[in-house]
Structures are given as structure tokens and as C-alpha cells.
Amino acid sequence: MMRTRPLKVALLGCGVVGSEVTRIMTTHADDLAARIGAPVELAGIAVRRPDKVREGVPAELVTTDATALVKRGDIDVVIEVIGGIEPARTLITTAFEHGASVVSANKALVAADGAALHAAAETNGADLYYEAAVAGAIPLVRPLRESLAGDKVNRVLGIVNGTTNFILDKMDSTGAGYSEALDEATALGYAEADPTADVEGFDAAAKAAILAGIAFHTRVTIDDVHREGLTEVTAADIASAKRMGCTVKLLAICERAADGASVTARVHPAMIPLTHPLASVREAYNAVFVEAEAAGQLMFYGPGAGGAPTASAVLGDLVAVCRNKLAGATGPGESAYTRLPVSPMGAVTTRYHISLDVADKPGVLAQVANIFAEHGVSIDTVRQQGKDGEASLVIVTHRAADAALSSTVGALRELDTVRGVASIMRVEGE
């Protein structure tokens, strides 16, 4: 039997995502009630600019006093889509203290302070759900947290930022440089006016921290994630990748060490073979590979951002949290029992693609190869081109530790015959 008294929902933020949440809650009210077992009522919407025209948003629900809204004793669930650290953190913890569960899309906050938020939720007998914080509409957090709870996840590898994937895809398909591709992404609305969070990898790093923490049952914050953006990727890098039968993607990679004693989390551009499924992920789409012992390889694919896709994930969490409220229970909280340390990037092993500008004369290749050997980095392939006294060496290594590769490059720069290091890129997805 359906309960007639509605569950009351407070919405913090009414931008692109918040407006879509409001629309779906209104247009699908009957379906949501049937799935939950009780009606859900939007009881208030906190915004910064109350005079802004918001089509389909009831003006009588709009308020600028977010604190008063979350302190109302009759609010059952707070949906937070304002983003950033503050005031979101204070508002969420205040909501917990006043008996409300929270659904959030705030990747930055969860990645920075997830442990404290989970602790506050548990102390107050509330839920904290954040499927929308990672990869938009793609169901990823819940499968990792619930569907694979009985399995051992060893690796999560994926494209988790649509803006950067669009830029790299355009560079690959058209031969455009980074700036040209970024301009197109901005014109189409894929890139913000200030694209720093995307192109410098901050957005992907926050998502990597969340995924690693859930996958490996340990605490990983954004400060634990090695981060490199794509601003240094050139058209020449893309061309080199093509010659190797590869393409370039900005990847989030979370791995459990072979001995199981530690984990790593990193975000950086990498070459991946065209035969790898991630190579075919185009435009602004996201895709994530999960490798587990029993389940094997799983791939999750779909739109990773945007108002409607993100709102879909928010509403999915809302249904789950409301069901828990009616049952007098809470869903899964933080699972960090393994307490695994996060290894530094220097300990990570991978293959590398290195392009060197060198003098075109006998013995240079031998000198370079000797430097690699001295630092314990094994060479897989070498391609050499020379003209008018100048040459380039393109070297692909076998797997090597990041620290060993860094010392190798440092020694190469000391050689008189090496004019410069044109580019260094990791090779993944073997």
C-alpha cells in the first residue's frame, strides 16, 4: 500500500542540473511515487539569484536561505547540486544533523572530504549517495559499491571527462592543434569559459579518487591522485600515436598492486591501441573499464555530463534514498576496511613513448641506448629519422617505473647530442 504523506525534498542549486531535476520530479511525479511507495514533494529550492528566470520552476519554492531550508525539521532528503567545497560541505552536514539524507553530484567535495561526510551521515543515521558525481548518467558508483561488493576489483580504467575526450577526438580526427580543438569545444558548449578544471585534469582526478576508494575499499582523496592535463599534447603526439596504431586519451587509472599491498590512482594522457574498446569512445562520451577477479572485464559507457544525464543519476539516487527512508534503514556507507596505502607515481610501471631531437651523426643511437640501459629501462622499438644534421628518435620502452624513466630522461638531457625532449607519453591499454 502506498503511503499518502509525501516525502519532502529540498533542492540546493537550480542551474542546468537542478532545473532538470525539478522538471523530472514534476513530470514524472506519479511514476516516482509508484517506484518509491510514497509521493515525493519538492519543498524548497535554494538559489543564489532569485530573480533569474527559471522555466518550469515554481517561484514560491525559491529561496536564498539555503541554511534555513536544510534546517527545516520536515525535510527528508536534500539534493545538493551547487558544487564546490563551501558552502556545500556545511549545508550537507547541517542537513544530516537535522535528520535529512543527502543526494549529491559534488565530485570535488566527495573526493576531498568523503570520509568526514560519510562519518556525519552514519552518526545521524542518514544516507549519502553520489552516483551523479562520477560519469553523469552512467551507473558506476552503485555497481562498484553494491553489485561488485562480493568480488575483488583490481583495476578501473576509463575516460571520465567529456570535454577532454572531445578535444582529443577532434585533434585525432581533423589534425587540429590543442587550441583549435578547445575553441571548437567551447563554441559547442562542451568546455566552460574557464576550462582549467577539465583540461588540467582536476575534474578527472576527483572522479578517480572516488572510484579508487569504492573499488578498493580504502580511503583515497584527490590529493592522492597523480594528475597531468592535456594542454601539452600536440598534433605531433597525435600523429605519432597514429603511426603506432594508437590514439591518445586522457585516462583515469586506478590499480591494485600485484601483491595487493597498495593501490595507485592517476590521471594523464596516454596512447592506447586502436583495438582497445576505449579507443572508439568519441566526442564527449565517457567509458570506464572495470576489471574484477570473478566478473572479469566490464565496460560502462554513455554520456558523462549534461543536465538531463546528470539529473537521471540524481533521481536514481533519490528513489533509493527515499525507499530507505520508508524502510527505516540506510544504504551502504563508506567501506574503507582495507586501509591500503596509495603508492606514489614514481612506483607505477608502464610503457613510454619518448620523442627526442638529436644530432644526425654516427653513435647517437648507441649513446641514447646506453643511457636507457644504465637506468634499467628496456627499449622495445626505435624509429630514427634524419635530415640536414638534425634527427629525431622515437623510442617505445617496455614497462618501466616512472621514477626510472624520469632519471633516464634527466640523463638524456645532459647529452650534448640530444637537442631536446620533444614529448613523453605513457602507453596503456595493452
Q: What positions carry a catalytic annotation?
A: 207
Residues 321 and 35: beta-carbon distance below 8 Å: no
DSSP secondary structure letter of residue 344:
P
Contact by Cβ (8 Å): 407, 374: no
Q: Which of 130, 35, 70 lies closest to 333 in space, CA to CA?
A: 130
Q: Which residues contact 329 (CB under 8 A, 6 or more apart)?
A: none
> What is the distance, to the nearest Å, from the Cα of residue 171 to the centroid of all Cα atoms in its chain?
21
Please compute, for residue 239, the number of CA atoms within 13 A of its CA located in the half-sphere on the CB side.
9
Q: Give the C-alpha separation, 187 to 154, whole Å.
A: 39
Question: Cell match 631536446: residue?
Answer: 420
Q: Which helix (H) or strand (E) holds 204?
A: helix 202-216
Task: Give the span between the Cα atoms of 92 and 124, in whole angstroms.
Answer: 12
- Pull the grid cell for residue 231: 594542454
Cα→Cα distances 16→21, 130, 184, Å: 9, 17, 21
